Amino acid sequence: MAVIEVKDLTRTFRSSKGLFRRNAREVEAVRGISFSVERGELFGLLGPNGAGKTTTIKMLITLLLPTTGQASVLGFDVVAHPREVRRRVGYVFGGDRGLYDRLSGLDNLRYFAELYAVPPREQRTRIHELLELVGLTGREKERVEGYSRGMRQRLHIARGLLHRPEVLFLDEPSIGIDPVGARELRATVKALVEHGTTVLLTTHYMFEADDLCDRIAVIAGGQIVSSGTPDDLKQRVSSGPVVEVEVYGVLGGVVDRVQGLPGVRSVVVEERGQAQVLLVHVEPGAEVTQAIMSCLDDARVGRVVTREPTLEDAYIELVGTP
């Protein structure tokens, strides 16, 4: 049986403005999505801002009622049995908020340990274990108002794990964390999954999703537009490989000439330090490297790399953003 089961889930938000003449507005944030997540799986939900990822998570952790459709976590319906769901899931979101600034990190954890009924005898050990895990040992007695954004985020993660949840919802958990912290977070998440925790992750960082997720659903406009393993998604992308050519001083007209080559889908120029990089998206099967080089005239050329499409390329194509 799937740990998370979502069937035809929708959520419509109604808002109104104006004191006397109320103008009502309806937004369909989630429009009939269905997916399931198996035990021990790390499932990614990717999509642009406003796609409906957080709304979906909020329905699954019982903070929002679905407008229509059904969702269950660990066999408990999120509408009919919210308390059963709440006991068994953890929720971590990104950003600065969601902590008691006037309390120390330790007191924040103690308080949430009480809310999640972590037995008093276990609290001390569990909290210290988690402080160690997220690298906050030694700083736990300081008030959270003095914490950096990364420290706050790590405290969020410790908070979400206090009661050893069977299912963990991570909503953009790496926002604001430095690269070292983000790598440690990914290692932590991997370790949790190895120990049997089921994780539903949303992120904007494609390499993170590629590195972590067993399966991914790409959501756009409240609907799932594609799902599968990261490799499945990359293979479904209609564009072929990408040729990256490092050039020092791209002359006028070069981009147009490369764009006009047979087999070239699109050309983008990126500034990287003193060099420009031509990102040439190529039709599958087309061999254009020599033709591109001949278009560059006397420009000084650096590194030339041909690479397969990344998850980011697939994502951009799927959500329809150029």
Q: In angstroms, what is the minimal distance from the CB of 13 to other proteins?
A: 6
Among 58, 154, 234, 281, binds other proteins (CB under 8 A): 58
Q: Which positions from 60 through 79 interact with other proteins, judged by CB under 8 A?
A: 61-65
Q: In what order do the strands lie in the sheet with 167-171?
A: 89-93, 167-171, 198-202, 42-46, 215-220, 223-228
Contacts of 122 (CB under 8 A, 6+ apart): none
Q: In angstroms, what is the minimal distance from the CB of 101 to other proteins?
A: 7
Residue 76 token pair: 């408990």
Question: CB under 8 A: which stretch of 107-115, 207-215, 228-236, 248-256 binds other proteins?
Answer: 107-115
For the chain, how far is it from start to end, CA to CA, in angstroms? 39
Q: Which positions from 124 through 183 interact with other proteins, judged by CB under 8 A?
A: 159
> Looking at beta carbons only, is 116 or 205 nearer to other proteins?
116
Residue 38 token pair: 């198996």
Give the C-alpha distances (Å, rounded to integers) separating 73 from 58, 76, 155, 257, 264: 12, 5, 25, 55, 46
Each residue 3-42 as x (binds other proteins by CB under 8 A) or -, in order, gives: ----------xx----------------------------
Residue 100 as a binder of other proteins (CB under 8 A): the answer is: yes
Question: CB under 8 A: which stretch of 58-66, 125-133, 177-185, 286-294 binds other proteins?
Answer: 58-66
Among 40, 116, 135, 204, binds other proteins (CB under 8 A): 116
Cα(217)–Cα(44) distance, integer angstroms = 6
> Looking at beta carbons only, is 113 or 206 nearer to other proteins?
113
Q: In angstroms, what is the minimal distance from the CB of 236 to other proteins?
A: 34
CA-wise closest residue to 181 among 210, 230, 214, 147: 147
DSSP-based three-state secondary structure for 85: helix
Burial zone of 120 (CB within 10 Å; 0-12 exposed, 13-18 middle, 19+ buried): exposed
User: Footprint of other proteins on this chain (CB under 8 A)?
Assistant: 13-14, 58, 61-65, 83, 86-87, 91, 95, 97-103, 107, 110-112, 114-117, 120, 159
